[in-house]
Structure 1
């Protein structure tokens, strides 16, 4: 029976239950496929509280990674999530035990940027590349990004979606919603960071000539105070709600209260939050620069793309609002069909099978 080592710096915790849910789901899929006794997880299981805390946690993580290598048979699968944090250790491992493990690097987005923007990490990857058996990308677009920016052969990069929206991802009647049925509710779930482009959403919302409008931003990040101040300056503070970060199991109840979901980010490796909105029957209006989202958003069927920044988003939202209720109902019906594409079976079982088949063929 195959054995698997799974290394990750991101895993759900009590303080941050939304962190790394996809890693936990992947771990569960591997345990189901290989058996609990053949899967070993090495992860950070608490959120850093400061710089010293972060250094301590990562030092402990890397130490446990080294210890986990002992007595592992040749051919053991070593799946590394967010590989940028492990590159120096993996390079040293390749010198000590070349080709002892079947090395799988599982990219999630920002890790690719960190590698390409750092001379140290680029050098580590270049030296390690010959010992990397497989790279896993969350979307077809990102698969080609890895190929282009890391000069890694496309034949050894596979696409595996990061998470599912299975039967468990549904609204619960007992949970309350922050929306009101008589309002046009524009919603977004995002980390509140500069690259997520939430400022443009606030500016577009302020310009909407729509009565009874409401904006709900779900998420946390370093830009929250800046965005709250911007909402006040734009005169929309009273119609804007910042909920903070929420556990994933609470998202369906929030999402089902949206009239439309806006995805303003300009760069995503996949965009799970948009898939989650679609699964709840909520049409998505997404930035046209999000190439990965074209794998699940169908223009005019379950959502729309916009260009030209704030003005383009305003036009898209007002056009959506102007549609008949029958048209909106059809959009909602088509949106919910994304569950078939991103079921537990389609994502996790096939993801595990894809990696195992690739190892066997190599």
Structure 2
């Protein structure tokens, strides 16, 4: 029977139950496919609270990973999430002859930039690259990015979506069926520079739309700056900063959005936009966000915008001006994301694709 080792630095904890839930779902899919006794998880089971605790946790993780290799049968599948953190150990493993494992590196986003942008990490990756059997990317665009930046043949990279939405993200039933007169522009994001929420705030201030409201869900280093900018732009009274919310509360929040704006310029996939679609909320996304083209269809479940603030203003006002029937059709089409990104389509199919690739080789 096939065996699997799953290494990850990210996994849900009691203190942070939503931290790396997609890894836990991947683990569950593997246990269903191979049998629980044939899957071994090696993970950090607590969230670091300081640099010292992070160092301790990662040292312990790598030690346990090394021990997990002992006495495993030939052909064992080793799936590594966020490979940048495991490169030194993987390099040492690559020196072992003969090759014992089918090595799968599962990229999620920032790990590619960390490897490609570091001379040390890049050198380690180059030296172990011949031992890597398969890379997994979260989107087709990111698949090509891995190939171009790390010089890995596309034939050795497959796409597996990073997470699912399923029935968790559905429009909650409301007792009050009357449509709201408020036009709510919403965004769920970490409030960090690359997320580009400043552009959204400036565009919102320029909207010639009555009863408009902006809701920013999330937290980050830019929150104080954005709150101050809202005051300077004189939209503080119509802007709500909710802070970070648990994922299970997002469907109810998303359902109150008239439109979801995704201004980010750097995403390996962009799950929050898919979650909005699953709740029946059309999405307006930055055209620079190439991965969004895998789930956002122009004029069917949303739109892309170009041109920074002015382009976003034009896109939101054009959406607002659409007849009610058109906006309803966009909303209905958006809900199909629940089927496209179900647990079956994401996690179960991802496991099947990896196993199929291994068997074909």
TM bucket normalised to smaller? over 0.9
What TM-score, normalized to structure 1? 0.95
Equivalent position of 2:258 in the other structure: 259
| Residue number in structure 2 paired with 1:90 | 90
Q: Unpaired segments of 5 or more residues in structure 1? A: 175-179
- Greater mean alpha carbon deviation, residues 162-171 or residues 38-47: 162-171
Asked if 1 retains the 8 angstrom alpha-carbon contact of 2:172 and 2:255, the reply is: no
Correspondence for 1:271: 270
What residue number does 1:229 align with?
A: 228
SS at match of 2:186: strand
The CA distance in 2 between the partners of 1:19 and 1:102, in whole Å, is 27
- Match of 1:13? 13
1:158 counterpart SS class: strand
> In the superposition, relative to structure 1, how do residues 17 and 187 fare at CA in structure 2: closer, same or farther (>3 Å)?
farther
Alignment of 1:66-215 (within 5 A): 66-96=66-96, 98-171=98-171, 181-215=180-214
Structure 2 unaligned residues grouped into runs of 5+: none
| 1:55 alignment counterpart | 55
Deviation at 1:168, TM superposition (A): 3.0
Structure 2 CA distance for partners of 1:169 and 1:143, relative to 1, 3 Å: same
**How well do the aligned residues superpose, as a CA RMSD in angstroms?**
1.6
Per the alignment, residue 22 of structure 2 pairs with 22
CA contact (8 A) 2:170 2:280 kept: no
Query: What TM-score comes out, normalization by structure 2 length?
Result: 0.95
Q: How many residues align?
A: 358
Q: Determine whether 1:318 maps to 2:291.
A: no
| Offset of residue 343 of structure 1 | 1.6
1:18 shift after superposition: 2.9
Secondary structure of 1:14's match?
coil
Q: Judge conservation of contact 2:171–2:280 (CA < 8 Å) in 1.
A: no
Cα–Cα, structure 1 residues 17 and 173, in superposed 2: closer, same or farther, change >3 Å?
Answer: farther
Deviation at 1:237, TM superposition (A): 1.8
Q: Distance in 2 between matches of 1:158 and 1:355?
A: 8
CA distance in 1, matches of 2:247, 2:42: 23
Q: Which residue does 1:303 correspond to in 2?
A: 302
Cα distance in 1 between the residues matched to 2:261 and 2:283: 6
Q: How far 1:39 moved relative to its partner? A: 1.1
